[in-house]
Amino acid sequence: MWQDSPPRKSIQRSIFLNEIPTGANILCFQSAGYPIITYFRQAKIPTLGAYNIGGINSSGQVSQNFANFALIDVDTPQSAYTRRSWNDGSTEMTLVFSDEFNVPGRTFWPGDDPYWEAVDLHYWETNNLEWYSPLAITTDDGALVITLSKKETHNLNYQGGMVSTWNKFCFTGGYVEANVSLPGTNNIVGLWPAIWTMGNLGRAGYGASLEGLWPYSYDACDVGTVANQTVDGKPVAATEGGDPSDGGVLSFLPGQRLSRCTCSGESHPGPKHSDGTFVGRAAPEIDMFEAQIGSPPVGQVSQSAQWAPFNHEYIWLNTSENEVIANPSISQQNTYAGGVLQQATSVVTETNQECYEGETGCFSVYGFEYVPGFDDAYITWVSNDKVSWTLNVAGLAADPLVEISARPVSQEPMYIIMNLGMSYNFGAVNLAALPFPVHLRVDYIRVYQPSNAVNIGCSPKDFPTENYINQYMEAYTDPNLTTWRDDYGQPWPKNSFLGQC
Q: Are 232 and 496 in contact (CB under 8 A)?
A: no
Res 485: pLDDT: 98
Instruction: Kindly report the backbone phi and psi dihedral angles of residue 83, in degrees, each rounded to the nearest multiple of 5, phi listed first.
Output: -160, 170
In the chain, the percentage of residues whose pLDDT exceeds 70 is 86
The total of other beta-carbon atoms located within 10 Å of residue 398's CB is: 16
**Radius of gyration from C-alpha coordinates of the chain:** 22
pLDDT exceeds 70 at position 25: no
Res 15: pLDDT: 34
- State the average pLDDT over residues 178-189: 98
DSSP structural state of residue 491: P
Res 36: pLDDT: 23
Q: Going along 165-258, which residue ranges are E strands?
A: 174-181, 192-199
Res 417: pLDDT: 99
Question: Cis peptide before 271, with omega less than 30 degrees from 0?
Answer: yes
- State the average pLDDT over residues 253-281: 99
What are the tens digits of pLDDT across the range 345-384?
999 999 999 999 999 999 999 999 999 999 999 999 999 9
Residues 6+ apart with CB under 8 A from 385: 364, 365
User: Which of the pair, 135 or 57, is modelled with greater confidence?
Assistant: 135
Res 33: pLDDT: 27
What are the tens digits of pLDDT across the range 69-81?
789 999 999 999 9
- State the average pLDDT over residues 458-465: 98
Burial of 227 per CB tally in 10 Å (0-12, 13-18, 19+):
middle
Res 436: pLDDT: 98
Res 66: pLDDT: 41
- State the average pLDDT over residues 146-163: 98
Task: Give the sign of the dihedral formed by CA 28, CA 53, CA 99, CA 78.
Answer: positive
- State the average pLDDT over residues 332-342: 97
Mean pLDDT is lowest, of 2-6, 409-413, 430-434, 484-488, for 2-6
Res 372: pLDDT: 99
Res 425: pLDDT: 94
How wide is the angle at C-alpha 411 spanned by C-alphas 484 and 173, nearest 5°?
130
- State the average pLDDT over residues 483-501: 98
What are the tens digits of pLDDT across the range 392-449?
999 999 999 999 999 999 999 999 999 999 999 999 999 999 999 999 999 999 999 9
Res 58: pLDDT: 39
pLDDT exceeds 70 at position 150: yes
Res 67: pLDDT: 41
- Name the band, by pLDDT with cuts 50, 70 and 90, for residue 68: very low
Task: Spell out the SS3 assignment of 439-484.
Answer: EEEEEEEEEEEECCCCCECCCCCCCCCHHHHHHCHHHHHCCCCCCC
Q: Which domains does the chain have, with CATH numbers?
A: 15-217+279-477 (2.60.120.200)
Res 19: pLDDT: 37
Res 296: pLDDT: 94
What are the tens digits of pLDDT across the range 37-52?
222 222 333 333 333 3
Res 198: pLDDT: 99
pLDDT exceeds 50 at position 10: no
- Name the band, by pLDDT with cuts 50, 70 and 90, for residue 30: very low
Task: Give the sign of the dihedral formed by CA 340, CA 344, CA 350, CA 355.
Answer: negative
pLDDT exceeds 70 at position 229: yes
Res 304: pLDDT: 99
- State the average pLDDT over residues 269-291: 99
